[in-house]
Each structure stands twice: as C-alpha cells, then as structure tokens.
Amino acid sequence: MLTKRNRVFGFKKSLAIMYLILTALLLGVLAPGSVMAINELVQPDLLPLLSAPPNPPTLLVAIAISPTQVTLYWKDNSNNEDGWIIEWREEGTPQWQSTKSQNPNIPNWGTSAGMFKPGTEYSFRVFAYNIAGKSVYSSEVSRVTTPPDPRTRHAPQAPSKLVAKAISTNEVELTWQDNSNNEVQFSICRRKAGSRDWEAFRWVVNANVTTYTDRNAYPNTTYIYAVVAGYKYKDVLGWSWLDSGPSNEVTVTTPTTKSPPEPPTPITPIQSQTIQNLTARFRWGYPAATLSCELQVAGDAFFNKIVLNKPGITVSGYDMPAGLQWNKTYFWRVRATNASGTSPWSPIQVFKTK
C-alpha cells in the first residue's frame, strides 16, 4: 500500500516519464513502435491519477488573527494536487481575487500584515489543481477581520520631567509627567549608583498616576530612578505588552540616620473597637526614617500571652490571617526600627471580636 507521500512522488515521476516519451515522439527521436507501453513505465495504481483532476478540499475554516490578517485551514482530500488556488472577495463586491499556493499536502494559507481592511467581512474559497485540471471549489466561508484597537496598539509615549526627592532617611518621593493616553500602568525602576543593573520593574502604579513614594530605600544611599509606561492588549494570540522608553533618569541620596525613629501612631483597630471577623487588619502611621516595624498582638495587657509577633514589616499595616477567637479581648502595639535603633512601643490599643 503506497503512502500519500510515495503516491505523489510516484505520480510526478510517472508524469515526467510521459513528458519525455511524448517529446521524443514529437521530435522524431523515437519511432512509435519502439516506445514501451506507458503502463509498463508508470506505476499501475497511478495511471488513473495522470488524467484526473484532484478532489475538492473541504472543511474550510478562516481565522482572523489581527485586524489585517487571516489564516485559512482546510482538509486535503486528494493525493495528486500540484497546489492550491485561494480566492477571496470583500463582502458586497462581485470580484474575486486570487493567489496561488504551490505547496501540495499543506492545507493552510496565511496572509501578510496589511493585506485586508480592519473590521471588514471577507468571503473565502479554495480549489486544488494539477496538470489535468482543477477541482471544484470548497464551500465558501466568511470572516470579519478584527476591528482596529481604539488606542491603535502603539507603545505609549515615555513619561518625562521625573523628579526625585528624599523625604526621610528611607523614603524617596517621585513625580513625573504623563505624556501618553493609552498606558495601563507605570513601572518604577530603581538601581543603586555605581550599578548597571536595574531592579527590574520594582513597583507598578495605575494609569494616569504621576506620583509614587519609595519607602524601601536605605539611609545614606544614592539611587537612580526611571519610569516606564506600559500598554497591555489582547488578541487571538493572547496578551501582549508594549512599553515606552524610559523617562529621564534622576539621582537622589537619602540622608544619614542619626537617631531611632519615633513610635508609630496606631490607626486601627482603635481603643475598644469591635471587629466582626477573625481576620484583623492593623494600620498605623509609618514614622520617618523607619526601615521596618514590629507588630505584637496579645491576650493580656502585659503581653505575656502573645498571639502574634511579626517583625520586619516594611509598610504601614498588616493583615492578620488567623489566630484570633470569637468573643475575646485583645491588645496590640507596634514599634519602628532603623539603622540607629528601635523606637519605644506605641500606645497599647484594645479591640474585641464578636
């Protein structure tokens, strides 16, 4: 049993033999009586294929992969095609356009970018051909190309006029100018002076935000900052990102720490507050020149029955995931630490669960 690949190879080989014989006869090089019978030179099971057009392709599918590109797939039902003719027309116009795909046994075709109009309906059909003729057409399919993105899918303009100001030993305030109208976020990049390596996209803020405070700096350290605008879109191929170039770079040095920070100021839960669940959310004011905070929660005012001891918190709050019980009274306090030492504990706060 011949495979399809071998049948196609045998068909083309047999066809070449026929051409040589006919050419020799026409030129008088061979006498008709001296020519071997064609059926002795050609594989017997290929003889019907030499005079038969290919079978028509079926199951044609069109996929719009971008506003200006379409890819076609179909089922190859023949083993003697030399290639394919792909035809299309814009909906509402009678004239078909065509192109040739000289790739037998490869039942697909993709357009180049810009070939079709965005948001436009097109009809497609395909037929196979060989030396004996062409097949009938496949069934027609229609497809609407994807509409153009209202934000045109171009990279955002880079932000500019970036300014950095050290507002404490471990805080740097950044402001910049937003120059784009299609960003979905801004990414803040930071590196230490003397280093070529950026700390990747270290922080991210939403579109149209033009300020950010870095509270993770170290005292007496020189940093370089830049901001990048990003645009994210989705098509049939998935999610993609387009980023602007970086803003201007700015350099800033945080001051030297001279003393421990002030105690943090408790914000919530405040004195005698009752919370309605067992997941407490603690918030406090983050003192200047603070590197981290330590939170304690206890079942008594002397903090002998510790429920939570959480050091190393670098933001102004902590969500306690578990450990509390219903209908209990709890006490909490927080203190701050920097390179020069640790502050006293904040005033003790009391809350209840119910």
Asked which of 253, 275, 292 is the last residue of a domain, the reply is 253
Q: Assess whether 45 and 73 both reside in one domain.
A: no
DSSP string, 207-235: TT--EEEE----TT-EEEEEEEEEEEEEE
Q: Assess whether 46 and 70 both reside in one domain.
A: no
pLDDT in tens, 118-148: 778 899 999 999 988 899 999 999 888 876 6
Mean of all residue pLDDT scores within the chain: 82
Query: Is the peptide bond between 269 and the residue preceding it cis, with omega within 30 degrees of 0?
Result: yes
Written as six digits, the tokens of 311 are: 């050091």
Q: Assess whether 178 and 129 both reside in one domain.
A: no
Q: Assess whether 275 and 324 both reside in one domain.
A: yes
Whether 202 maps to a domain, the answer reads: yes
Indicate whether 17 pLDDT > 70: no
Q: Assess whether 181 and 249 both reside in one domain.
A: yes
Residues 6+ apart with CB under 8 A from 150: none
Confidence of residue 149 (pLDDT cuts 50, 70, 90): low
Mean pLDDT of 330-352: 92
Q: Assess whether 119 and 39 both reside in one domain.
A: no
Whether 119 maps to a domain, the answer reads: yes
Distance (Å, whole) CA 286 – CA 264: 6
Whether 150 maps to a domain, the answer reads: no
Percent of the chain surpassing pLDDT 70? 79
Confidence of residue 250 (pLDDT cuts 50, 70, 90): very high
Whether 259 maps to a domain, the answer reads: no
Asked which of 51, 68, 85 is the last residue of a domain, the reply is 51
Instruction: Provide the pLDDT for residue 159.
Output: 94
Q: Are 128 and 83 in contact (CB under 8 A)?
A: yes
Q: Are 11 and 80 in contact (CB under 8 A)?
A: yes
Secondary structure of the chain: what % helix, strand, coil (to 5)? Answer: 10, 40, 45
Whether 223 maps to a domain, the answer reads: yes
Domain CATH for 68: 2.60.40.10
Q: Assess whether 273 and 245 both reside in one domain.
A: no
Whether 154 maps to a domain, the answer reads: no
Indicate whether 32 pLDDT > 70: no
pLDDT in tens, 174-218: 999 999 988 889 999 999 998 888 875 568 899 999 999 998 898
Instruction: Provide the pLDDT for residue 144.
Output: 82
Choose between 44 and 199: higher pLDDT.
Answer: 199
Long-range Cβ contact pairs of 197-206 (< 8 A, separation 24 or more): 198/226, 201/228
Asked which of 213, 228, 253 is the last residue of a domain, the reply is 253
Distance (Å, whole) CA 128 – CA 134: 6
Whether 258 maps to a domain, the answer reads: no
Instruction: Provide the pLDDT for residue 33.
Output: 47
Distance (Å, whole) CA 51 – CA 11: 11
Its pTM stands at 0.37
The Cα angle at residue 16 between residues 12 and 18, in degrees rounded to 5: 115
Q: Assess whether 230 and 311 both reside in one domain.
A: no
Hey, what's the torsion of the CAs at 202, 204, 208, 214, to 10 degrees?
A: -60
DSSP string, 17-38: HHHHHHHHHHHTSS-GGGSPPH
Mean pLDDT of 220-241: 79
Confidence of residue 34 (pLDDT cuts 50, 70, 90): very low
* Domain span including residue 200: 160-253
| Segment among 46-55, 128-137, 160-169, 178-187 with least mean pLDDT | 46-55
Q: Assess whether 202 and 271 both reside in one domain.
A: no
Q: Assess whether 342 and 287 both reside in one domain.
A: yes
Q: Assess whether 232 and 269 both reside in one domain.
A: no
Distance (Å, whole) CA 192 – CA 254: 12
Distance (Å, whole) CA 239 – CA 237: 7
In the chain, how many domains are there?
A: 4
Q: Assess whether 248 and 169 both reside in one domain.
A: yes
Distance (Å, whole) CA 248 – CA 161: 7
Q: Which helix (H) or strand (E) holds 89?
A: strand 83-90
- Strand order of the β-sheet with 69-75 is 58-66, 69-75, 108-110
Whether 44 maps to a domain, the answer reads: yes
